[in-house]
Copies of this chain bind each other. A is one copy, B any other.
Amino acid sequence: MSRNVSVVSRTRTDTRERVLTAGLRLFTRHGYFNTTTHDIARESRVSIGAIYHHFRDKEGIARGVYTMLLERMVDIIQDIHRLHSSTHDRCRALMAVLFKLAEEEPEAMEFMLHAKHREFLPTETPVCSSKPFAMMRDFVREGAQRGEIRAIDPMVASVSLFGGAIRMIIARLDGVVERALPEYLDEVWACGWRAVAP
């Protein structure tokens, strides 16, 4: 529509986004409870008043960060679903993306994987029952139906296929792994696939 409206909404979402970005960085780096709203104001260069104009409370910021990341993740997984047809290719592409993301946006990864959200987002479901994880399990379940992976408990198949990768990411984020994750992709994938291949 008119240019003016778009300008306003851009500034508006811009402020929101700055707060979310600062929140993500600070929450990840120091933890939710070691981050004050004033820290976020300073880091985002948005005033306290503006923050409370956009978010109900501190928890609202965390919730905003969390859903932003989850939605992004869901998009990525849907793309993968669209782009590949076999279970093997889908899961492998997913693992590759996870490794890449962990290197490019370690803070986002850490926030999604490592943070124990229930401690400060009591109403959210735990990460591993969140949508992205459920979609991951759906990949596997479908694969089992099609006979592309062995007929075992779907949950077991899912953690066996991706568990190694996720532990690897966590280890990397904790500084226990030295080389970049994509360098390990082939080996980790081979192990995961062996675990569930028919």
Binding site for B on A (CB under 8 A): 30-34, 114-116, 118-120, 126-129, 152-153, 155-157, 159-160, 162-168, 170-171, 174-177, 184, 187-188, 191-192, 194-196
Q: A116-B114, A119-B33, A176-B128 are in contact. Are A159 and B167 (CB under 8 A)?
A: yes
Candidates B118, B163, B176; contact of A164 at CB < 8 Å: B163
A47 to B: closest C-beta gap in Å: 26
A30 to B: closest C-beta gap in Å: 8
| 8 contacts across the A-B interface (CB closer than 8 A) | A30-B119, A126-B174, A126-B176, A128-B176, A163-B167, A166-B167, A194-B194, A194-B195
A177 to B: closest C-beta gap in Å: 6
A157 close to B119 (CB less than 8 A): no
A23 to B: closest C-beta gap in Å: 15
Q: Which residue of chain B lies nearest to A127 when distances are taken between CB atoms in the complex?
A: B174
A168 close to B174 (CB less than 8 A): no
**What would 8 more interface pairs be, CB under 8 Å, given A30-B119, A126-B175?**
A31-B116, A128-B176, A129-B176, A155-B171, A156-B164, A159-B164, A159-B167, A163-B166
* A122 to B143 alpha-carbon distance, docked (Å): 43
Q: Which residue of chain B lies nearest to A150 when distances are taken between CB atoms in the complex?
A: B191
A128 close to B174 (CB less than 8 A): yes
Q: Which residue of chain B lies nearest to A129 when distances are taken between CB atoms in the complex?
A: B176
B164 close to A188 (CB less than 8 A): no
B129 close to A174 (CB less than 8 A): yes
* A157 to B188 alpha-carbon distance, docked (Å): 8
Most buried by B among A167, A168, A177: A167
